[in-house]
Structure 1
Amino acid sequence: KGVVEYLLSFDTNFQHSYEVVNELRYSLKHNNSKDFITTLNEIELNEVCFKLKIVLKTLKKYQLYIDNTLKYPNITNGPIEGINNKIKLIKRISFGYRNYDNLRNRILLISRLYASPIKKEIKQPKVA
């Protein structure tokens, strides 16, 4: 901690950048979207390092998406990534279908995305 304070004492621009980054990290760590957005909007770009200016502009550009991510932390794209991985595996194993419909049907069947509208009756043997 003493070394960090010593290094920050050399440049006020660097010190302000360090404080801004830690405030944003704290807000993200605790899923506090209001604090994150207010901190992001209050930052003066003239007082931070050049590389941090680029990052802050990007964060401001995607501010709405970051806010949604912080509000709904349990929603992920994991299931979609799993389906994409399964499709890639089918394509790799099959090494190319001649007919696109066959590939599509196999993906639907394996992923259980296809539900038949008509359930076939199971024929029971007649007991005499």
Structure 2
Amino acid sequence: LDLIFDFSPKFKQVYQVYQGILEATREKDGSILHDVIYNYHPTRSAMDTAVSTLKRNIHYVKNACYFSYSNGPIEGINRKIKELKRHCYGFRNLNNFFNRIDCIFLLNQKEAPTA
């Protein structure tokens, strides 16, 4: 990385911001995240857009750091239902479609880790 950093200081700054955001989310520390986002200086790169989006939604991003709630499992079930609709187009009986959705839901309950 040092060779790339010497070649492109702009990349070094973007990489350090990226690593700071990753560290803050891994550690679930909203204050580090806030510091990284608000100490960022624009570099005319794609990171500018990402950081400005994070600034606009900083309240929600910090909540994601502080709380363990996630809509990930629900989104996973929704994705599987949509995939089922694409692959099984034209069920003759709507009850069969709903039974397949129930099977997906039951499989997800068995796969879910218990705390």
Tell whether the structures are fold-level matches, with TM greater than 0.5. yes
The whole-number CA distance in structure 2 between the counterparts of 1:60 and 1:5 is 29
Report the counterpart of residue 71 of structure 1 in structure 2: 66
Q: CA RMSD of the aligned region, Å?
A: 3.0
Specify every segment of 5 or more residues in structure 2 that has no aligned partner in the other structure, as ranges: 103-115
TM-score norm. by structure 2 comes to 0.61
Q: Deviations for 1:86-108, whole angstroms, at most 9, x for unmatched residues?
A: x888xx868459xxxxxxxx9xx
Identity across matched positions, percent: 22
* Bigger Rg, which one: 1
Structure 1 unaligned residues grouped into runs of 5+: 98-105, 111-128
Q: What aligned pairs does 1:49-128 form with structure 2 within 5 A after superposition?
A: 49-73=44-68, 75-77=69-71, 80-81=74-75, 95-96=93-94
Task: Report which of the two has the higher share of helix.
Answer: 2
Tell whether 2:26 aligns with 1:29.
yes
- TM-score if structure 1 supplies the norm length? 0.56
1:33 touches 1:71 (CA, 8 Å); kept in 2?
yes
Q: 1:95 to 1:60 in 2, by over 3 A?
A: farther
